Structure 1
Amino acid sequence: MTEDYKLVDAPLQQPLAMHPKKFAMWLFIVTVVMIFAAFTSAHIVRQADGDWLIYDIPQMLWYTSAIILVSSVTMQWAYLAAKKDKLEQVKLALSLTMILGIAFIYGQFQAWGQLVDAGVFFVGNPGGSFIYVFTGLHVLHLVSGILYLLYMLIASFKYKVHSKNMLNMDMSTTFWHFLGGLWIYLFIFLLLNH
């Protein structure tokens, strides 16, 4: 007995696809999230043990938080300008974002100075150590973001950033927004758990 099979005209489904570079970036972001989740969990557990240094959050961290938020706006401006092939705006917005990123890092060093002036050191009580670890590790990731922005700025001067070549612009924008969001999370966490 033979059964006849009828082919159904169904639309072919495209598999979920992502550019390998973008996939690698998302893996990196997930890794960074896991690292900071581990540190914030360790902070909470260690704080519950007692013998915890109570300190005031450096005033400079409020300013650096505002700087990182503004830099996210300028980065989005660069992205939208690239989509519209407004290359002069791309160059200006990327330059401003880099300057704001450098200002953020400078502000973090100033915040460390404020911590030292307040008697909060990296060594000694873990309460003080954690703020240096959080801010230092974030600065390290921000440096990588600034280097990526420098690469994008050079690419924009070579006319390699435009509406038909948005992969790197999309990735750098996503990474920069991630760094901004990560800092806001850390800042709120520190405000609630210092």
Structure 2
Amino acid sequence: MTVILAFLVTVIALAFWWLLREGIMSKPWLETGTVVETAGLPPFPVQRVGLGVFLVVIGSLFALFGSAFVMRMDLEFWSSLKLPPIVWFNTALLVVASVFLRRAAWRGEGRGLHRDTAIAGLATVAFVIGQLAAWRELHLMGNGLTSGPAASFFYMLSGLHSLHILGGIVALGVLMARREHDPDQIKLNTGLCAAYWDFLLVVWIGLLLLFMGWANQLLDICRSVLT
């Protein structure tokens, strides 16, 4: 439950920050000076709103599973899971993919855009392959799908995360194959992909904190501060 509340507080804080950025607290009837014509301004891209709603839904899903994970840890007969070393290599690959895709979004257009996007795509594919290797190492270590609740949660959550990664790879492939010529549209589409990758990177780091037990320590610190 604490994980869900923390996620909802984060979403509300981000929404409030966005509303402030859009001028929700402004009072135009009290302002003086020249009236600025806004009819010719470009509309806010609806794709960003759609992606934001989609990310909230995904985040809520992972927050529910994370809350179930934390509550299950408080029960008896719980044994922690030792993550294989390849998990950290996979994390580095996802960081590389996010960095290069964000770089492509900043670049907007040019020859370097396709190179950065291709590097991000290859690093992401390598991440998914690395996750399969991590599953294999866990199985060889005796941590199969039904060996314990910690292992079951890892297979389920990492598999769900990888499914969302695969969906992003498909979207990135469509973006690269479309060959859009409008610079503004290219920057918008690449920026949406970069935001999606950044979100999945944050989710993956949060999952690692859960499986390593650091999230519980952080929650205990928060509880002690609030009480």
- TM-score by length of structure 1 reads 0.84
Which residue among 1, 19, 22 is the counterpart of 2:48? 22
User: Matched residues in 1 for 2:91 and 2:127: separation?
Assistant: 8
Equivalent in the alignment of 1:35:
61
Label 1:9 to 1:187 Cα distance change in 2 as closer, same or farther (>3 A): closer
- The alignment partner of 1:166 has SS state of helix
Identical columns (%): 24
The superposition leaves residues 66-120 of structure 1 with CA deviations (integer Å, 9 ceiling, x where unpaired) of 11111111111211221xx32x111111111000000000000000011101111
Equivalent in the alignment of 1:178:
199
Of the two, which has the highest radius of gyration?
A: 1
Gaps spanning 5+ residues in structure 2: where?
Answer: 1-28, 216-227
Instruction: Indicate conservation of the 8 Å contact 2:84/2:134, yes or no.
Output: yes
User: Matched residues in 2 for 1:159 and 1:9: separation?
Assistant: 41
The superposition leaves residues 175-194 of structure 1 with CA deviations (integer Å, 9 ceiling, x where unpaired) of 11111121112112212269
What amino acid maps onto 2:130 in structure 1? G
How far 1:19 moved relative to its partner?
Answer: 2.5
What amino acid maps onto 2:53 in structure 1? L
User: Matched residues in 2 for 1:8 and 1:143: separation?
Assistant: 50
- TM-score by length of structure 2 reads 0.72
How far 1:164 moved relative to its partner?
Answer: 5.7
Q: Going by fraction, where is helix more abundant, 1 or 2? A: 2
Equivalent in the alignment of 1:48:
74
User: Matched residues in 2 for 1:102 and 1:148: separation?
Assistant: 13
Which residue among 125, 130, 140 is the counterpart of 1:107? 130
Instruction: Indicate conservation of the 8 Å contact 1:161/1:169, yes or no.
Output: no
What amino acid maps onto 2:183 in structure 1? H
Instruction: With a CA cutoff of 8 Å and minimum separation of 6, indicate the structure with the bigger relative contact order.
Output: 1
Quote the RMSD (CA, aligned, Å): 2.4
Equivalent in the alignment of 2:223:
none
Equivalent in the alignment of 1:147:
170
Label 1:193 to 1:121 Cα distance change in 2 as closer, same or farther (>3 A): farther
- Equivalent pairs counted in the alignment come to 181
What amino acid maps onto 1:191 in structure 2? M
Instruction: Indicate conservation of the 8 Å contact 1:112/1:132, yes or no.
Output: yes
